Amino acid sequence: MPTDMDERGILQRVLDLAAANVRDGQRPFGAIVVAGGRVVAEGVNTVTSSGDPTDHAEVRAIRAASQAVGGEDLSGAIVYTSCEPCIMCQATGLFSGVERMVFAASSALAADMGFPAPSRAARVQERLRSELPGYVVAGDIPPAVSRVPFAVWIERHDEDRRA
């Protein structure tokens, strides 16, 4: 796990984690936690293999970061994610003291690529966004680049259907 990267490099790393996660049979999501200016943890979504609906990349990365720093307080940390975090992941960040979350792909892009959010979750997420402006922000990654994990997902599942 690289420890010193700029924001664009970190976002590229989460996209690489997400694409690799698909190749491992999982979902196209990755996350990195930066605390004190250093990468302290990474996580990928393992919902498919664990059957645990809370095994999102952001939650796993925050759990690992808490272990890495020796406690639950991640005040000032930043979570970088391959995709706009869901409300559960945002709440986990808030509870742990994460300062903000930066994502590569918007939830709209994810929906366009085949990952629509449940309408209830979207409504709650919109409300949370309006109450915490600037907590979850888009990173400086072009859509063509942030689509890669989803394209790998689609390609893999198209191959599965043809087999």
Please spell the DSSP secondary structure of 60-76, one letter per residue.
HHHHHHHHHHTSS--TT
What spatial distance separates the first Cα and last Cα of the chain, rounded to whole Å? 35
Decide: 110 and 18 in contact? Cβ < 8 Å. no
* Closest residue by Cα to residue 139 from 22, 42, 13: 13
* Closest residue by Cα to residue 103 from 18, 2, 37: 18
Amino acid in the structure at residue 100: R
CA distance 73 to 69: 8
* Closest residue by Cα to residue 99 from 116, 84, 80: 80
Residues marked as catalytic: 58
* Closest residue by Cα to residue 57 from 76, 41, 68: 41
